[in-house]
Amino acid sequence: MRSLAVFSVKGGVGKSALAVNLAHAAATLSARRTLLWDLDTQGAATYTLRLSPLEDRSARKGIAEAELSPLIQSSDFAGLDVLAADKSLRHLEKQLADDEKTKRLRKLIKSLDKDYDRVILDCPPGLTELATQIFRAVDLLVVPMLPSPLSERAYDQLLEHLARHHKGSTPAVLPVFTMVDRRKALHRDTIAAHPERLCIPYAAAIEAMAATRTPVLTRAAATPAARALAALWTAVERVLTQQE
């Protein structure tokens, strides 16, 4: 099993949109047994995949304490399961900050090893305790960013943080430009400085996922957005299979 987190210190950069599409691509394009784990209380990925938290969670203590398997749900797509966001995530930071729990997320992900080939985390923004645990737990960070100097700066700060605080055990990092609009000179110039990076276009089909609640590849497979998402999945899968 290999795991990846769609992570950024910033919000609104397309993390959840990428997490949903990457998870869907893992299950459909690569026939991987895939789990999408929604770690953001906003639950955008959960909602987009037409799920909601399980009702009967009165006994649930939150993922820092509980077993994961009873909380996992199947999605409408073969091979794609979801660990939905729920209210207990609000207490997660506090629970993980406990001294004995510094490797809790890593252990939880390891516990999924037999049942899944790919585990994809949709993360809330910010360099929090949860982020620290994510960096210790996953094999790859996919980092979406808008093509602008400020995003570039935030990305450099993330790399510095990883180099300083996670020496020797840093996950691979794959930056990707999102919401790309080539009519904008700023976008063109930023992208030109990083020709090796993949670009996901600004696309009505991706924006509409919040309304259609369907991944883009299923509905608009021939569009530039769908092709870009498939190319991103191929790049991700290449990194993960090289690590295996």
Ligand X SMILES: Nc1ncnc2c1ncn2[C@@H]1O[C@H](COP(=O)(O)OP(=O)(O)O)[C@@H](O)[C@H]1O
Task: Return residues touching Mg ion (CB under 5 A).
Answer: 15-16, 40, 44
Token pair recorded at residue 148: 């602008």
**Does residue 141 touch ligand X according to CB under 6 A?**
no
Query: Between residue 182 and residue 211, which ones bind ligand X under the rule CB under 6 A?
Result: 200, 202-203, 206-207, 209-210
- Which residue has the CB atom at the shortest distance from Mg ion? 16
Among 44, 63, 119, 176, binds ligand X (CB under 6 A): 44
Bridge-based pairing of strands 34-38 and 140-145 is unpaired
Alpha carbon distance 176, 195 (integer Å) = 11
Among 12, 70, 149, 224, binds ligand X (CB under 6 A): 12
Write down the least CB distance from residue 45 to ligand X, Å. Answer: 8
Kindly list the distances between the CA atom of residue 131 and the CA atoms of 158, 164, 176, 226, in Å, as whole numbers in the listed order: 11, 14, 19, 29
Write down the least CB distance from residue 13 to Mg ion, Å. Answer: 9
Nearer to ligand X, 14 or 147 (CB): 14
Nearer to ligand X, 62 or 125 (CB): 125
Nearer to ligand X, 19 or 137 (CB): 19
Which amino acid would we find at residue 180?
V
**Does residue 15 touch ligand X according to CB under 6 A?**
yes
Nearer to ligand X, 43 or 79 (CB): 43
Write down the least CB distance from residue 50 to ligand X, Å. Answer: 15
The residue among 43, 238, 7, 233 whose CA lies nearest residue 132 is 7
Would you mind telling me the total number of residues written for the chain in this entry?
244
Write down the least CB distance from residue 228 to ligand X, Å. Answer: 8
| Element spanning 159, H or E | helix 149-165
Nearer to ligand X, 77 or 202 (CB): 202
Cα dihedral sign, 173-226-40-62? negative
Token pair recorded at residue 79: 């091979």
The residue among 7, 32, 235 whose CA lies nearest residue 117 is 32
**CB half-sphere exposure, 103, CA atoms < 13 A:** 3
Binding site for ligand X (CB under 6 A): 11-17, 44, 178-179, 200, 202-203, 206-207, 209-210
